[in-house]
Amino acid sequence: MSVTETELLQQVQTALFEASDPEGAMSVVELSEATDMPGPAIRRRLKKLIAQGDVEVVKVPRTNIVGTVARQYCYRMVTPKDTHEDE
């Protein structure tokens, strides 16, 4: 049985909703690990979700391998409140 594009997008959305980050944000690597999808596949799906207005890009402080905190691009779901601010 093949998985549809909609099902793959849903996997990415579910992983973002279940993110352990207090902001609900995950990097491509974190999403890849959470969904068992390769990075390029995650990026393609994120582009669609961003274009639809469902996901936004944020910079989140993360500790790197040498212990330095740096801001990293991550992705999080846009909350319904954020989508209706202009109304």
- List pLDDT tens digits, range 19-53: 666 677 888 998 888 888 899 998 998 998 899 89
pLDDT of residue 2: 46
pLDDT value at 8 more than 70: no
Provide the residue ranges of all domains of the chain, joining segments of one domain with +. 5-80
Strand partners, 58: 74
Residue type present at position 58: V
Instruction: Report d(CA 75, CA 44) in Å as an integer.
Output: 13
pLDDT of residue 83: 45
What CATH class has 5-80? Answer: mainly alpha
Contact 12, 52 (CB under 8 A): no
pLDDT tens, residue by residue, 74-84:
998 887 664 44
- Measuring CA to CA, which residue among 37, 21, 39 is closest to residue 29? 39
Q: What is the pTM of this model?
A: 0.70
pLDDT value at 4 more than 90: no
